[in-house]
Chain A
Amino acid sequence: MKESTKATEAKSGGINRRAFIGGGVAAGAIILGAPYIASKARAKTKTIYINTWGGSWGKAEAEAYYKPYEKASGVSVKPITPVSFAKMKAQVQSGHYEFDVAGMGRSDSIRGLNDNLLEHIHYDIIRLTDYPPDTIGYNGISRHSISTNLVYNKTKFPNGGPQSWADYWNVEKFPGNRGAYKDVARMVPFALLADGVDKDKLYPLDVDRAFKKLDELKPHVKVWWRRGSQSVQLVRDGEVDMMPMWNTRAGVAVEQGVPLEVVWNQSHMRRSNWIVARGTPNAAEAWRFVQFCLKPENLGVFCRMMNTGPWIAAAYEHIDEKKARMMPTWKDNLPLTYQPDPLWVGTNLSALTKRFNQWLAT
């Protein structure tokens, strides 16, 4: 067809109707055939697809993981954004894979396992003995952690601000505008800590006790945030004087010049695992990619860029100490934090969320 188009073009000295229609048909064929062609191409030149976030997160992954891996292995790595747990379920159920690898919180992994969505670890690639024992589990392997910390505005509290969740609850001793996190998996343990429960004896959570304590806080909350970007906006604009916030976003706010103090005491640590979609034809390549990403020099680069705390201690050799102090797995911070019990959260989150939404609405 290309030949004939050329011929007619040559004859009339420009694009005539026939050539135009021919071009249209060709374009149509390409559009209709695109999925087929794409899947063919995918099979030939090996490519693995990573489900991840866009923006600075995606850029950091490209820098720390994708580019070095492409160079080292010849396999090309492509991101699929945004992170979607639902898409993960859809693709495993349909057998049509859009991505092979994803990062997933440990308690999410429990629900992923319940629905049988997670590929088992290929232990010929991920050597058990190469990693700290608590990093492997639930068909995933820990990469880093983000923590949710109490933060406060230093100019509002020049003589020292709240240092614990009990202080955050104490509106007489620490008056000021409070923000809260619209996330039941964080707010319930925070309430129990404020009520005097030891951070090592939190789980299984005493939910009734927690909601009683949350009742005390509710009238004093000016705003409930839900999105990371929203939380940064709230502290930057001075809407709130104290609130729970991710250490990563607090780091961004501090870099932007917001006078924030980040409290490490009683911070909530969320572990993120690398997982592979069950049944993907690229499973082996996917685990090789994960193994590569967990090398200290690669993990270190990512954590340095995003303020996430690495679970491979050697990664800290690639992070300067000033940065490291902002990370939840740093040796000074780690003992102050607590980690949720993924099994308990995974099984109870649905009921908890329902109760929390109801509580918020009344």
Chain B
Amino acid sequence: MSATSATPAGASGGRKASRPWRSRGNISAWTLSAPAVLFIAVLFVYPLLDVVVISFTDPTLSLVNYREFFSSPLYSRVLGNTFWFAFMVTVICLLLGYPMAYVVVRYGGTLGFALLLVVAMSFWTSFLVRTYSWLVILGSKGPVTKLLDWVGFDPVPQILFNSFATTLGMVHILIPYMIMSIYAAMQKIDPNHLRAAASLGATPFQGFRTVFFPLSLPGVVNGCTLVFIICLGFYVTPVLLGGPRDQMIAGLIGEQIEELLEWGFASAMAVVLLATTMALLAIYNRLVGLDKLWG
């Protein structure tokens, strides 16, 4: 995937160019990338391999950790729950974030600047602070409950400590990633493309659908991938805003590591999470084509 995108000339250049490392320019490319490769190998690849090794060897060389994971309904359920939740949050972030980024890019000006500023400020505020604010806003003495009471709900439905509050909190925390990614892609789109479409008789909607939207897709893919992956590892917000069923796999992994010192089992859980994520990304790549859209 990355090899093809790294050598765009190779696609048209035939045999010679398909062995790119022979040429001098690429040798220096190797040398230049060596520190980065070393950095990634030492700080990411090695620890990850270590996690895989621990999952098979702690406490003894066996599959016992994986057997425990798959024999209990709890872990598969929580894993499935985590992925479903990450998917929901990503979709909602996309549905809310895309129009917002569109408004900022297409209409710009003071409104666009103000919107971007709000997004950036929320991005810079600690997620713990933002999570605790939701406790106040949605709480039984908060404004939302008061409003519902005023409207005439009796009894006022509980909006805190359930999946609704968790989803709301997570969308709020992650939506800046989505907006920023889409905004970056949209800004690169040359407005002349839309003028050209209009001059050829396209209605504004047709112009959007056939020109603007496809060109903004790389940002969409970027944003969705970012939000989805970050969401998979998040558990503090669900703990604070959610109910007992909103358990995340990352929370269970943390509990095993910090409180129970069962590193073998925790590693096995982490490996299953990683493998599932990779598998899903592979399917996603097959259907959507990550590399093409990223170009």
Q: A222-B158, A360-B245, A361-B74 are in contact. Are A239 and B140 (CB under 8 A)?
A: yes
Interface size class of A (residues with CB under 8 A): 20 to 34
Is A209 among interface residues, defined by CB-CB distance under 8 A?
no
1/0 contact trace for A53-95 toward B, CB 8 Å?
0000000000000000000000000000000111001000000
Smallest distance from the beta carbon of B126 to chain A beta carbons, Å? Answer: 13
Q: A237-B135, A237-B139, A354-B72 are in contact. Are A111 and B260 (CB under 8 A)?
A: yes
- Stretch of B9-17, B222-230, B251-259 on the interface side: B251-259
Is the pair A350, B262 in contact by a Cβ cutoff of 8 Å? yes
Is B177 among interface residues, defined by CB-CB distance under 8 A?
no
1/0 contact trace for A332-362 toward B, CB 8 Å?
0000000000000000011001100110110
Chain B residues, Cβ within 8 Å of A177: 140
1/0 contact trace for A236-249 toward B, CB 8 Å?
01110000000000
**Roughly how many angstroms separate A230 CA and B73 CA in the complex, as a whole number?**
29
Is the pair B261, A360 in contact by a Cβ cutoff of 8 Å? no
Is A227 among interface residues, defined by CB-CB distance under 8 A?
yes
Is the pair A357, B257 in contact by a Cβ cutoff of 8 Å? no
Is the pair B252, A357 in contact by a Cβ cutoff of 8 Å? yes
Option from B140, B240, B257 in Cβ contact (under 8 Å) with A230: B240
Is the pair A357, B247 in contact by a Cβ cutoff of 8 Å? yes
Is the pair A222, B161 in contact by a Cβ cutoff of 8 Å? yes
**Roughly how many angstroms separate A349 CA and B261 CA in the complex, as a whole number?**
11
**Roughly how many angstroms separate A221 CA and B244 CA in the complex, as a whole number?**
10
Q: A238-B141, A358-B73, A361-B78 are in contact. Are A86 and B244 (CB under 8 A)?
A: no
Is A182 among interface residues, defined by CB-CB distance under 8 A?
yes
1/0 contact trace for B234-249 toward A, CB 8 Å?
0000011001110100
Chain A residues, Cβ within 8 Å of B255: 353, 357
Query: Which parts of A306-356 form the interface with B (CB within 8 Å)?
Result: 349-350, 353-354
**Roughly how many angstroms separate A16 CA and B255 CA in the complex, as a whole number?**
54
Option from B136, B139, B245, B260 in Cβ contact (under 8 Å) with A350: B260
Is A206 among interface residues, defined by CB-CB distance under 8 A?
no
Is the pair A89, B161 in contact by a Cβ cutoff of 8 Å? no
Is the pair A182, B244 in contact by a Cβ cutoff of 8 Å? yes
Is A97 among interface residues, defined by CB-CB distance under 8 A?
no
1/0 contact trace for B201-240 toward A, CB 8 Å?
0000000000000000000000000000000000000011
> How many A-B contacts at CB < 8 Å in the complex?
68
Is A223 among interface residues, defined by CB-CB distance under 8 A?
yes
Option from B240, B244, B245 in Cβ contact (under 8 Å) with A227: B240
Is the pair B239, A227 in contact by a Cβ cutoff of 8 Å? yes
Option from B72, B132, B135, B140 in Cβ contact (under 8 Å) with A358: B72
Q: Which residue of B lies closest to A237 (CB)?
A: B139
Is A155 among interface residues, defined by CB-CB distance under 8 A?
no
Smallest distance from the beta carbon of B128 to chain A beta carbons, Å? Answer: 9
**Roughly how many angstroms separate A222 CA and B239 CA in the complex, as a whole number?**
13
Is the pair A233, B132 in contact by a Cβ cutoff of 8 Å? yes
Is B116 among interface residues, defined by CB-CB distance under 8 A?
no
Option from B74, B239, B252 in Cβ contact (under 8 Å) with A226: B239
Is the pair A354, B160 in contact by a Cβ cutoff of 8 Å? no
Is A115 among interface residues, defined by CB-CB distance under 8 A?
yes
Option from A238, A349, A350, A361 in Cβ contact (under 8 Å) with B244: A361
Smallest distance from the beta carbon of B156 to chain A beta carbons, Å? Answer: 13
Is A224 among interface residues, defined by CB-CB distance under 8 A?
yes
**Roughly how many angstroms separate A223 CA and B246 CA in the complex, as a whole number?**
12
Chain A residues, Cβ within 8 Å of B135: 233, 237, 239
Smallest distance from the beta carbon of A32 to chain B beta carbons, Å? Answer: 13
Is the pair A86, B257 in contact by a Cβ cutoff of 8 Å? yes
**Roughly how many angstroms separate A85 CA and B158 CA in the complex, as a whole number?**
37
1/0 contact trace for B130-162 toward A, CB 8 Å?
001001100111000000000000000010110
Chain A residues, Cβ within 8 Å of B193: none
Is B77 among interface residues, defined by CB-CB distance under 8 A?
yes
Is the pair B140, A237 in contact by a Cβ cutoff of 8 Å? yes
Option from B73, B243, B261 in Cβ contact (under 8 Å) with A111: B261
Chain B residues, Cβ within 8 Å of A86: 257-258, 261, 263
Q: In the complex, which of the residues A115, A238, A353 has the most CB atoms of chain B within 10 Å of its own CB atom?
A: A353
Is the pair B261, A89 in contact by a Cβ cutoff of 8 Å? yes
Smallest distance from the beta carbon of A25 to chain B beta carbons, Å? Answer: 16
Option from A224, A238, A349, A354 in Cβ contact (under 8 Å) with B140: A238
Q: Which residue of B lies closest to A117 (CB)?
A: B261
Smallest distance from the beta carbon of B36 to chain A beta carbons, Å? Answer: 17
**Roughly how many angstroms separate A360 CA and B255 CA in the complex, as a whole number?**
15
Is the pair B261, A115 in contact by a Cβ cutoff of 8 Å? yes
Is the pair A357, B258 in contact by a Cβ cutoff of 8 Å? no
1/0 contact trace for A109-126 toward B, CB 8 Å?
001000100000000000
Q: Which residue of B lies closest to A83 (CB)?
A: B258
Q: A223-B161, A239-B140, A353-B255 are in contact. Are A358 and B74 (CB under 8 A)?
A: yes
Chain A residues, Cβ within 8 Å of B243: 223-224
1/0 contact trace for B78-120 toward A, CB 8 Å?
1001000000000000000000000000000000000000000
Partner-B contacts on A (CB < 8 A): 84-86, 89, 111, 115, 177, 182, 221-224, 226-227, 230, 233, 237-239, 349-350, 353-354, 357-358, 360-361
What 18 new A-B contacts, CB under 8 Å, besides A84-B258, A237-B136?
A86-B257, A86-B261, A86-B263, A89-B261, A111-B261, A115-B261, A182-B244, A222-B161, A237-B141, A238-B140, A238-B141, A239-B135, A239-B139, A239-B160, A353-B255, A353-B260, A358-B73, A358-B74
Can you list 30 pairs linking A and B with CB atoms under 8 Å apart?
A: A85-B259, A86-B258, A86-B261, A86-B263, A111-B260, A177-B140, A182-B244, A221-B244, A223-B160, A224-B244, A226-B240, A233-B132, A233-B135, A237-B136, A237-B139, A237-B140, A237-B141, A238-B140, A238-B141, A239-B139, A353-B255, A353-B259, A357-B78, A357-B247, A357-B255, A358-B74, A361-B74, A361-B78, A361-B245, A361-B247
